[in-house]
Structure 1
Amino acid sequence: MIYNQQEFEIRMEWGLKGVEMFAPVSDVMIIVDVLSFSTCVDIATQRGAVIYPYRWKDESAIAYAKTVGAELADFKRKFTDGFSLSPTSLCTIQSGTKLVLSSPNGATLSLSTGNIPTLCGSLRNAKAVAACAKTFGKRISIIAAGEQWPDKSLRVSFEDAVGAGAVISYVEGKLSPESKASLAVFESSKESLLSDIKKCSSGKELIDRGFEKDIILACDFNASENVPVLEGGCFYKRFLDKTAIS
């Protein structure tokens, strides 16, 4: 298959088509959605919460949350009065909390990997996730989520190219040209991550909406040693004692 980069050990691609193309030839997949699904998942699971990714922001999410006995994060990004797709809103989440987090990008990709081991990567935990990925095998696929244009088509995003490149910088193996390109983007910005991401399109949008703190949290490079692992439809902190989750 021309597009699956299978002759390389380290592969990088964008969006749902990338997941579909890589899953059959991967030992592990890493989903990168820096602003903000991956950052939210890292912060929440690091604190001992369990995150149930969900594709849609509609009434079906309410029903799903009830079936798994979880709270439902607000569809509207906010950092007060409950949880949402704002990393800031999750900084005080309690251990054992079960939370459904709806996201058309990161959540959708996470739920599309089938039975392939799936990790959630970000700038916050790039080194830790890369180290964990190596334990599953040599065929490591990094999927950058990107964003959506108003017509729902994929918008390639600077922050996810950087995030994917950050993970790639810590893995070993033969890199595809796509992986090399993402790595080069990261290398060009690693000394100015916060500044560059604030200036990119996604960053400017969040700042305009009052969520600059979310960007600061997302750019806290390697601040976390947490590795969120998808198992049974939800992300857990790796090695979490699941008997503590009611």
Structure 2
Amino acid sequence: MVRVVCEWDLAGIEAWKERADVFVIVDVLSFSTSVSVALDRGATVIPFPYGDAAAAERAAASLGAVAASKDRTRSPSLSPSSLRDLPANTRLLLPSPNGSRLSLATGSTPTFCASLRNAQATAAAARRTAGAEGVIAVIPAGERWDDGSLRPALEDWLGAGAVIAALGGIPNAEADLAASAFARADKRLGDMIRTSRSGLELSERGFAADLDIALEIDSSRTAPRLVDGQYSNDARPSDLAVKAP
């Protein structure tokens, strides 16, 4: 039976890099949600570590891609709202200080990206990829305090729990606790995320609509998988027909 582990951020990836058969990155506000929206539109997403806009523009030009703006009021950007009308077949280079950085840190291990919008679909694809006896490492990204240290983020913990609950299998203690937190949140999940530190920050900056999109629970049937440096949809019709053991 598949084994499921859960550890935070880059240290979690490093801890499981030699043992995991699949990684699932969870950065709900907003990288993972933005990836799911873009893939819903028929686009592909190239993760890019957060840096200056000029470097992103140069990288996008070299790849035949469109660089997302660091300014969330522009389109396209890291704001999921800005991607609702993204043209099909767009190659979107998406700078992100957390989700992109983690996506690029997993080396050759198969890597997926999950949000609350596509937890079921991504879990099914990850389970298929790992095989019956594989190890799946679910990595909540978290945020950063002003001194650069990790700030565990409620929305990523609950998003990881949603994926873990859908995966089934044998969880380690951390994975079990994350899945239990997601189940216990139940109908309060939306209020919890809206009033979390990250949720309040987004609302105060005028991006409450991004929270609405992030909370479209399992509205997407995309399973973003990183192949050759870009996320594309790896969902198959048969995936969701098979229940987690």
| Structure-1 residue corresponding to 2:22 | 28
Alignment of 1:117-196 (within 5 A): 117-137=110-130, 138-196=134-192
Alpha-carbon distance between aligned partners in 2 of 1:113 and 1:12, rounded to the nearest angstrom: 15
| Structure-2 residue corresponding to 1:91 | 84
Gaps of 5+ in 2: 237-245
| Structure-2 residue corresponding to 1:234 | 230
Alpha-carbon distance between aligned partners in 1 of 2:65 and 2:43, rounded to the nearest angstrom: 11
| Structure-1 residue corresponding to 2:242 | none
Alpha-carbon distance between aligned partners in 2 of 1:159 and 1:172, rounded to the nearest angstrom: 20
Contact 1:56 1:104 survives alignment (8 Å): yes
Shift of 1:56: 2.1
Contact 1:33 1:144 survives alignment (8 Å): yes
1:102 to 74, 95, 107: 95
Contact 1:57 1:75 survives alignment (8 Å): no
Contact 2:6 2:175 survives alignment (8 Å): yes
What whole-Å deviation, never above 9, does each CA across 1:79-128 have from its counterpart, x for those lacking one? xx421110000011011111111001000000111111111101000111
| Structure-2 residue corresponding to 1:15 | 9
Alpha-carbon distance between aligned partners in 2 of 1:239 and 1:94, rounded to the nearest angstrom: 20
- TM-score normalised by structure 1 residue count: 0.91
Percent of pairs identical after alignment? 41
Alpha-carbon distance between aligned partners in 2 of 1:159 and 1:118, rounded to the nearest angstrom: 20
List structure 1 segments (4+ residues) > 4 angstroms apart after TM superposition. Answer: none
- Residue correspondences, number: 231
What whole-Å deviation, never above 9, does each CA across 1:190-231 have from its counterpart, x for those lacking one? 222211100110000001011111001001111111111101
Between 1:51-60 and 1:109-118, the stretch displaced more is 51-60
Is residue 73 from structure 1 mapped to residue 81 from structure 2 by the alignment? no
| Structure-2 residue corresponding to 1:220 | 216
Alpha-carbon distance between aligned partners in 2 of 1:106 and 1:71, rounded to the nearest angstrom: 18
| Structure-2 residue corresponding to 1:57 | 51
Alpha-carbon distance between aligned partners in 1 of 2:85 and 2:149, rounded to the nearest angstrom: 34
SS of structure 2 residue aligned to 1:25:
coil
Contact 1:142 1:164 survives alignment (8 Å): yes
SS of structure 1 residue aligned to 2:71:
coil
What whole-Å deviation, never above 9, does each CA across 1:144-186 have from its counterpart, x for those lacking one? 0001111221110000000000000011221101101111221
Contact 1:146 1:155 survives alignment (8 Å): yes
Gaps of 5+ in 1: 1-7, 241-246
Between 1:146-155 and 1:211-220, the stretch displaced more is 146-155
2:39 to 39, 42, 45: 45
Alpha-carbon distance between aligned partners in 2 of 1:91 and 1:190, rounded to the nearest angstrom: 27
Alpha-carbon distance between aligned partners in 1 of 2:183 and 2:235, rounded to the nearest angstrom: 31
Between 1:183-192 and 1:29-38, the stretch displaced more is 183-192
- Taking only aligned residues, the RMSD between alpha carbons, in angstroms, comes to 1.4
SS of structure 2 residue aligned to 1:10:
strand
Amino acid at match of 2:161: G
Alpha-carbon distance between aligned partners in 1 of 2:180 and 2:51, rounded to the nearest angstrom: 35
